[in-house]
Structure 1
Amino acid sequence: MQILDKRSALAIWPVLRLGFRPFFLLGALLALLAIPLWLLALNGSGLLPSPAGGWLAWHRHELVFGFAGAIIAGFLLTAVQTWSGRPGLSGKPLAALVLVWLLGRLSWWGGAPWLLLLSNLAFFAACAWVMGRTLWAVRQQRNYPIVALLLLLGGADALSLVGVLQHNDAWQRQGVWTALWLVVAMMGLIGGRVIPFFTQRGLGRQQAVQPWIWLDWTLLLGSALIALLHAAGQAMQPQVWIGALFATLGLGHLLRLLRWFDGGLLRVPLLWSLHLAYAWLVLACMGMALWHFGWLNNVSLALHALTVGAMAGLILAMLARVSLGHTGRPLELPRGFALAFVLLNLGGLIRVFATPFWYREALWLAGLCWSLAFAQYLWCYAPMLLRTRADGHPG
């Protein structure tokens, strides 16, 4: 609604009218393909040549910087239009950013090492520039931390990719873990705003639960601190005091979740999917605390509670809602789409709780659930993202 020239805006190819359209499509497509490719590689399939640095390096990087990075970009480049009252990125500039993202994905195969590094770093730098310029124009200080998080995410990507190019596994792991907790910081920052608001609107309540500012800042700074501890390598080995920090974060997120809860949300998939993803975040923080305390042997279980249950769960829930709202449709899920939420969460349960006992079978079953969830998103939502808004407006 805030496009200044409606005629020019409507002349743009629909998929390039706002950031959520191409990046939600491409991010979901990458999610759909990435897990089956990784599982095939684990089983020795030669379907594709090995990417730069090997399949493990690709798997680590692409699920965080490729998949989550695309969704974050799509969400923020769309939301900044609402936050600032200024037109969002669209048309040829948006197409150029999409091409940079695609180059980052393709340069794992056959590209020069410097191209892999520069294309990925250019993507996050460009996103931060667009966000920062737009927010600065209206002096919207409340959202400046998001620009800082994008820049830090680019720094984590640099650490990870330099590790790939130098065959340094420690740097790769540090970069990816750093990025994960920066994503958690974004989840806490954005989720802390939208989940109670969406809950209030979805249930027709008079007022959303008011935030506790001290808790918001504690969770944001605590997540950023954990990210920096991973970047420095300090958190890569179990340490009791870091476990206490994780436990504090977990309790803070749990407190938020309890304050937001309303029994009515259990009847609304667009709401319980958000709250369930946030509950996975609590579980992931507590799992990390247990690992640092020496009470959990396999840190991968806490890692996948975070990546599958919390991160992908919140992404899928937000994709389902934002795609409806920004294409001018009622906030009503496509028929049967709640199954996608069930499948993704079932995949998370299998990956975290079944793999210690039936590792190979659990991996394939969890991967199938994951891929079916994102396939259902593309089946139901791709037509909306590729076509004009249902109400005829730009965007």
Structure 2
Amino acid sequence: MQIIDKRKALMIPPLLRLGFRPFFLLGSVLALLAVPLWILGLFGHLGSLQPSGGWLAWHRHELVFGFAGAIIAGFLLTAGQTWTGQAAPSGRPLLLLVLVWLAARLAWLPLVPGALLVLLNVGFFVLVALTLGRMLWAVRQTRNYPIVVVLLLLALADAVNLLGVWQANDAWQRQGALGAVWLVAALMGLIGGRVIPFFTQRGLGRVQQVAAWPKLDWALLLGSLLVAVLHVSGVALQASWLVAVVFLALGVGHAIRLVRWFDPGLLRVPLLWSLHLAYAWLVLACLGMALWHAGLLGNASPPLHALTVGSMAGLILAMLARVSLGHTGRPLVLPRGMAAGFILLNVAALVRVLLVEVWPALSLWLAMLCWAAALLIYLGLYAPMLCRPRVDGHPG
């Protein structure tokens, strides 16, 4: 509150006062629309209507670079102000970032040149990285420099993916999208490793937080970055025992964290069990990928969707529900009905991971409906908060 002019800040429209507001809102709207559109396109219900590169290319890209990218940007641009004491983008600078993100979504229209699709999408991640990097550099906060590195690697993965779309190269599309998925997992491990035990301790009123294990934290970050690079390079697209060992180590490391963080009291608090459950999906995803690379699982799709639906979307929804309360000046009391949203999203993950091989079409439609219902609940409860001033009268 001491690093900005309160009078000027309160003159800014509420939606543009901090990064979490527009990016949480727009990212959630994109997620709500993207999965139903993908299912409708997959089953041929949209006729000849399709984005550049087709529905599969769009689906691969938008749920990682579009949806997760927006949430990551909103979270980091907001958290960066807390971490550094430097004013985060608001007003016109924030609006510029939002417009770049929106233009990148519209660049999927068929008549837009492929070069512009690449430029806008990659440029968005570069701009976010430079913005956060400037804030961190101003106070020489080396602890968070790895986050900027991950953002730049996301820009690289996005370039590989979209060059694949532009050149109709399916291998490049897969390399970029899968690499990005594991870069997001690296951020989930990095940020989740800090906030999940802290939120658990605060939420349960425990006196002492679980002690960090820096060596394990670094090992998980570097391991996640390694598998991301192996995917971007194409090495991990084929089953490999060496990659299986890396995934097994990641799964065991994340499981150790989860056990250390566990407190029976969290099972009574949706704001907490939703975080821990999302992290458990990350453990399952890593172990599932280890099985696939070892030749013990016939399809890599189930562990991939355990990561994207169960862990990535699950952690995003849980974080949105908490961060949106705290940063709008509200007490950390979950609105009535939001716990049902957490449950629906996890049902979507269970159906997508476990039942698709048994009832393909029915399972996809059911997973889509649960996903959409979960996002609708969040938007119905939280969109008004994101568009209105803080309830305590402060800027932000």
Interval containing the TM-score (normalised by the shorter chain): over 0.9
Q: Contact conserved, 2:190 with 2:217, CA < 8 A, in 1?
A: yes
Q: RMSD of the alignment, in Å?
A: 0.8
How far has the Cα of 1:337 moved from its partner? 1.0
**Secondary structure at the residue paired with 2:274?**
helix
Aligned partner of 1:283 in structure 2 is 284
Aligned partner of 1:64 in structure 2 is 64
Tell whether 2:82 aligns with 1:82. Answer: yes
Aligned partner of 1:335 in structure 2 is 336
* Percent identity of equivalent pairs: 67
Question: TM-score, normalization: structure 2?
Answer: 0.99
**Secondary structure at the residue paired with 1:167?**
coil
**Secondary structure at the residue paired with 1:205?**
coil
Q: CA deviation digits over 1:282-328, x for unaligned, max 9?
A: 00000000000101111111110000000000000000000000000
Aligned partner of 2:165 in structure 1 is 164
**Secondary structure at the residue paired with 1:196?**
helix
**Secondary structure at the residue paired with 1:279?**
helix
Separation (CA, whole Å) in 1 of partners of 2:336 and 2:45: 36
How far has the Cα of 1:112 moved from its partner? 1.5
How far has the Cα of 1:48 moved from its partner? 7.3
Separation (CA, whole Å) in 2 of partners of 1:145 and 1:244: 24
Aligned residue pairs total: 395
Residue identity in the other structure for 1:59: H
Q: Contact conserved, 1:159 with 1:174, CA < 8 A, in 2?
A: yes
Residue identity in the other structure for 1:101: W
Q: Contact conserved, 1:2 with 1:81, CA < 8 A, in 2?
A: no
Q: CA deviation digits over 1:199-219, x for unaligned, max 9?
A: 000000001101100000000
Aligned partner of 1:73 in structure 2 is 73
Separation (CA, whole Å) in 2 of partners of 1:48 and 1:115: 23
Question: TM-score, normalization: structure 1?
Answer: 0.99
Q: Contact conserved, 2:337 with 2:377, CA < 8 A, in 1?
A: no
Separation (CA, whole Å) in 2 of partners of 1:377 and 1:115: 32
Aligned partner of 2:351 in structure 1 is 350
Between stretches 40-49 and 180-189, larger displacement belongs to 40-49
Q: Contact conserved, 2:3 with 2:85, CA < 8 A, in 1?
A: no
Tell whether 2:54 aligns with 1:54. Answer: yes
Aligned partner of 2:123 in structure 1 is 122
Gaps of 5+ in 2: none
Q: CA deviation digits over 1:142-172, x for unaligned, max 9?
A: 0000000000000000000000000000000
Tell whether 2:231 aligns with 1:230. Answer: yes
Q: Contact conserved, 1:3 with 1:394, CA < 8 A, in 2?
A: no
Q: CA deviation digits over 1:81-123, x for unaligned, max 9?
A: 0000111110000001000000000110131211111100110
**Secondary structure at the residue paired with 1:163?**
helix
Gaps of 5+ in 1: none
Q: Contact conserved, 1:135 with 1:141, CA < 8 A, in 2?
A: yes
Residue identity in the other structure for 1:30: L
Separation (CA, whole Å) in 2 of partners of 1:200 and 1:241: 37
Within 5 Å, which residues of 2 pair with 1:101-112? 101-109=101-109, 110-112=111-113
Q: Contact conserved, 1:288 with 1:299, CA < 8 A, in 2?
A: yes
Aligned partner of 1:185 in structure 2 is 186
**Secondary structure at the residue paired with 1:330?**
coil
Aligned partner of 1:44 in structure 2 is 44
Separation (CA, whole Å) in 2 of partners of 1:46 and 1:3: 50
Within 5 Å, which residues of 2 pair with 1:353-364? 353-364=354-365
Q: Contact conserved, 2:292 with 2:300, CA < 8 A, in 1?
A: yes
Moved beyond 4 Å, runs of 4+:
none
Separation (CA, whole Å) in 2 of partners of 1:29 and 1:3: 31
Residue identity in the other structure for 1:24: F
